[in-house]
Amino acid sequence: MKLSQVRWQTYKDNPADAEIPSHQLMLRAGLIHKAGAGIYNLLPFGLKVVKKIEQIIREEHDKAGCLEVLMSVITPGELWQESGRWQAMGGEMVKMKDKGGRDLCISPTNEEAVTDIFRRLIKSYKDLPITYYQINTKFRDEIRPRFGLMRGREFIMKDAYSFHESKSCLEKTYFQLYNVYSSILNRIGTEFKVVEADAGAMASSDQKTHEFQLLAKTGEDLLVYNEGYAANIEKAKTKRVINDFKFNGGEVEKVSTPDVGKIEEVCKLLGVKPHETLKTLALMGVKGNQVRPVLVVLLGDDELNETKIKNLLNADHVLPATEGELESLKCVRGFIGPFGHPQEMHTIFDAAIDLDAFYIVGANQKDFHLKNFSPKRDTHNFEVADLRRTKDGDIALSNNLPVQITRGIEVGHIFQLGDKYTKAMGVTVLDKTGKAVVPLMGCYGIGVTRLAAAVIEQNHDEKGIIWPESIAPFKVHAVLIGRSDEFRMKAFKIYEQIRERGIEILIDDRDVGPGFKFKDADLLGCPWQLTLGEREFGETGKFKLTNRKTAQIIEASPENLITEIERAINR
Ligand code: ATP
Ligand code: MG
């Protein structure tokens, strides 16, 4: 491609609303344009990258025997009524009516649509297992779209759905797709971890599910891992190591702690360690239009894992109690405690708390705490559950080894769904004995556009993007220096020769200075830069191929140039 023929616009400065490198660089390198909040246009070079990712995904799915389909982006409301998700999807799903008054939505995901395809085509166990996939546009009206393509409202997803007669068959396909995902991310050249995940609203929380996480400082997810264990922090099962509790104490005793609401201040004032205090959170579990209060008690230096409390309460969401709610619960902000509540108050102690030890707790009275509170002795009615957030240095329950925490970007997520959708939509197939049985499902998603952004988070420097060869918009970015017509003709001849070999090459033949051109080449980040200057064409001249990532320089004589390029790009 000749750059003079592309209306390519790059920018020197970071756009004001772009906070992370991938968002900044995609805008600066002219890969995308913002069309609206969380909505982007892919420009020619950005689209090239996305198409390459799609191609790798397609090849790996085809290799595993998955069948590509393209489902409609707009789906009829009736399908969602059947599964019960027309209401349950909440505000993320954009709904509309056509002129005949029929309900429609823009697909945020496609379990219903694919189940409808399945039930119309498949009647017998003999046709199972079967896996359909598509690469298509999704729309989710995210509460906080941000970071460009990373969390858009409209985005491209690869979604696959498998159908099975038995749990063991589902399990087999699940791990086959697990391997497909690993191959895709390896072929692209990413650094990733596969972690145990929380099923969220997709399936019941005891079904198997894994996330594929690209490691990056800017990742929104926290990953807990050690040799032999990896989980999203939402799901992580660990225990803490510091447990030197205080076991000698008398009766509950009120102490004055004027203006001291924070745990650190309480510890300083009373001369105790943070884990000798308990922190009590007054929360409201919301399910449909029901709201129920709950007190969650944690060790003073622990934090709440919001996913775990949400799952435990089976709530749509869990919110902190408002001032009014606190008042009706007889709690005072900063001094909330688990002592003295009526019997019916739902109280949950975190599993890290020793129920026989003695702690400082809030007195439910402004400027007072209680000493010598002992959970088992001093609470009528309580539950114990693992609700604390994993911390560095915890020990994984599965292998008793210390864990570390790092950040990741979720680019893929695979689930065993079970019969949730097939059952709700009344789907059956005939088994070997001629009996109608409800098939089981798995579903598997990759955020294609998010993956493009995530790769940049892993591969960039202060000058710009550094694409891995697998998905770079071009393999070679030729920089033409020199203005004479004769020279330009020679350079174009070389460009044509390279192109004829099937090597993707961009030539910067714009009427601007070399400094500007090299800056743009670094910003766009193609793996090899080829300098085509008048000097290189001289008697003793050699061509220079520079690697964008390593700055390695390969020199080649005119006769060897193509061979050297082919060797450089591993062909
Ligand atoms: P997240 O937890 O990041 O909101 P999710 O759990 O809602 O994602 P899934 O329903 O599992 O996502 O969708 C499959 C994949 O689609 C995700 O792994 C992610 O890569 C991608 N994806 C989801 N939401 C977005 C979005 N708003 N923008 C871009 N990609 C997305
Ligand atoms: Mg997910």
DSSP 540: T
**pLDDT surpassing 70 at residue 152:** yes
Confidence at residue 539, expressed as pLDDT on a 0 to 100 scale: 64
Query: Counting beta carbons within 10 angstroms of the beta carbon of residue 9, is it exposed (0 to 12), middle (13 to 18) or buried (19 or more)?
Result: exposed
d(CA 561, CA 569): 12
DSSP state of 262: S
Tokens of 88: 């349950």
What is the number of helices (H) and of strands (E) in the chain? 15, 33
Structure tokens at 413: 């997520």
Protein residue with least CA distance to atom 16, ligand 1? 447
- Residue 329: what pLDDT? 94
Check: CB of residue 454 under 8 Å from CB of residue 465. no
Distance in Å, CA 393 to ligand 1 centroid:
29
State mean pLDDT over 194-218: 85
The pick from 141, 410, 443, 446 for probing ligand 1's pocket by mutation, whose C-beta has the most ligand atoms within 8 angstroms, reads: 410
Ligand 1 atom with the smallest distance to the CA of 445 is 14
How far is it, in rounded angstroms, from Cα 163 to Cα 102? 30
8 Å CB contact between 472 and 480: no
Point out the ligand nearest to the CA of residue 109: 1
pLDDT-based confidence at residue 115 (cuts at 50, 70, 90)? very high
Q: How many CB atoms lie within 10 A of CB 354?
A: 17
Average pLDDT over residues 432-440: 97
Per-residue pLDDT, 482? 84
C-alpha 542/C-alpha 534 separation (Å) is 11
Most ligand 1 atoms within 8 A of CB, residue of 54, 110, 138 to mutate = 138
CA distances to 357, 389, 391 from 394, rounded to whole Å, are 21, 10, 6
Asked if residues 83 and 111 have their Cβ atoms less than 8 Å apart, the reply is yes
- For tokens 């086959």, the residue is 176
Q: Assess contact for 439 and 414: CB atoms under 8 A.
A: no
Calculate the average pLDDT of the chain.
95
* Burial of 570 from C-beta contacts in 10 A (0-12 / 13-18 / 19+): exposed
Beta-carbon neighbour count of residue 65 at 10 Å?
Answer: 11
| C-alpha 336 to ligand 2 mean position (Å) | 34
Q: Please tell me if the CB atom of residue 411 comes closer than 6 angstroms to any atom of ligand 1.
A: yes
Q: What is the pLDDT of residue 210?
A: 97
- The partner residues of 226 in beta bridges, in order of sequence, read 229
The atom number, within ligand 1, closest to the CA of 412 reads 18
Give the distance (Å) from ligand 2 centre to CA of residue 9. Answer: 35
Tokens for 306? 């919001």
**How many of the other CB atoms lie within 10 Å of CB of 467?**
25
Tell me what pLDDT residue 111 has. Answer: 97
Distances in whole angstroms, Cα of residue 25 to Cα of each of 30, 35, 192, 521, 546: 8, 17, 21, 13, 21
Model confidence at 383: pLDDT above 80: yes
Other CB atoms within 10 A of residue 451 CB: 30
Q: Note the pLDDT of residue 259.
A: 87
Q: Is the distance from the beta carbon of residue 219 to the nearest atom of ligand 1 less than 6 Å?
A: no
The CA distance from 302 to 350, in Å, is 10
**DSSP single-letter state for residue 43:** P
Predicted confidence (pLDDT) at residue 469 exceeds the cutoff of 80: yes
Q: Is the pLDDT of residue 296 over 70?
A: yes
Q: Tell me the mean pLDDT in the region 331-347.
A: 94
Cβ 366 vs Cβ 277: under 8 Å: no
Alpha helices (H) along 245-316: 263-270, 306-313
Ligand 1 neighbourhood includes 151 CB (under 6 angstroms): yes
CA nearest to 528, candidates 553, 563, 495: 553
Q: Tell me if 447 CB under 6 Å of ligand 1.
A: yes
What's residue 108's pLDDT? 97
Residue 404 has pLDDT above 60, yes or no: yes
pLDDT at 79 over 90: yes
- The protein residue whose alpha carbon is closest to atom 23 in ligand 1 is 447
**DSSP one-letter string for 362-399:** E-SSTTEEEEEE-HHHH-SS-EEE--BPP-TT-EETTT
pLDDT at 225: 98
For residue 205, pLDDT beyond 60: no
Is residue 155 within 6 Å of ligand 1 at its C-beta?
Answer: yes
> Which amino acid type is present at position 463?
K
Cα 447 to averaged position of ligand 1 atoms, centre (Å): 6
Instruction: Express each pLDDT in 451-465 by its tens digit.
Output: 999 999 999 999 999
Q: Is the pLDDT of residue 519 over 70?
A: yes
Residue 471 has pLDDT above 70, yes or no: yes
Q: How much is the pLDDT for 320?
A: 96
Q: What is the DSSP secondary structure assignment for residue 10, as one 8-state letter?
A: -
Q: Best substitution site from 57, 93, 146, 157 to test ligand 1's pocket, by max atoms within 8 Å of Cβ? A: 157
Answer yes or no: is pLDDT of 188 > 80: yes
At 74, list the tokens.
């707009």
pLDDT of 200 above 90: no
d(CA 565, CA 571) in angstroms, rounded, equals 9
Q: Ligand 1 within 6 A of 545 CB?
A: no
Task: Kindly report, residue by residue over 219-275, the tens digit of the pLDDT.
Answer: 999 999 999 999 999 999 999 997 789 998 899 999 999 988 789 999 999 999 999
Which residue out of 450, 451, 456, 457 has the highest number of ligand 1 atoms within 8 Å of its CB and is therefore the one to mutate?
A: 450
In the predicted structure, residue 102 carries a pLDDT above the cut 90: yes
Question: How would residue 207 be classed by pLDDT, with cut points 50, 70 and 90?
Answer: confident
CB atoms within 10 A of CB 322: 11
Contacts of 220 (CB under 8 A, 6+ apart): 151, 407, 409, 410
Q: How do strand 347-350 and strand 383-385 relate by DSSP bridges? A: parallel
